[in-house]
Amino acid sequence: MNNDLLLAVVLQIIGVSVIISEFVLPSAGLLTVTAMAAFGYSLFHVFHHVSADVGIYFLAADVVVIPLCRSSSPTISHTSESGNGSSLTRSLSGDTRHCGRA
């Protein structure tokens, strides 16, 4: 395997793992920027040092793999309560007697 191609594959794997860790570790977007940099440099490296055809294959794989990794992340799933408010909202939802409502 070509060293240039190996570097691009390693950068793609780093990008995917950083995207998955973004959902576990709060970083205010720093991990997202890091993942974008890894993907961007990987694509640049493939297009510049390997070939345009392989670059198109990498780009197509990114379009498919990145959303799959994001949807299969352990903290973001259809069964989680992500986006349904905070725990404080749930704890106060049944406590309406302080607001004057029945």
Region 17-37 average pLDDT: 88
Asked if residue 95 has pLDDT above 80, the reply is: no
Q: In this predicted structure, what is the pLDDT of residue 60?
A: 93
Q: What angle do CA 3, 5, 6 make, to 5 degrees?
A: 60
pTM: 0.64
SS (H, E, C) 3-48: HHHHHHHHHHHHHHHHHHHHCCCCCCCHHHHHHHHHHHHHHHHHHH
Residue whose C-alpha is closest to residue 35's, from 48, 20, 55: 20
Q: Please give the mean pLDDT across all residues of the chain.
A: 79
pLDDT in tens, 42-90: 999 999 999 999 999 999 998 988 888 767 666 544 455 555 555 555 5
Residue whose C-alpha is closest to residue 9's, from 36, 32, 41: 41
Q: In this predicted structure, what is the pLDDT of residue 97?
A: 59
The DSSP 8-state label assigned to residue 71 in this structure reads H
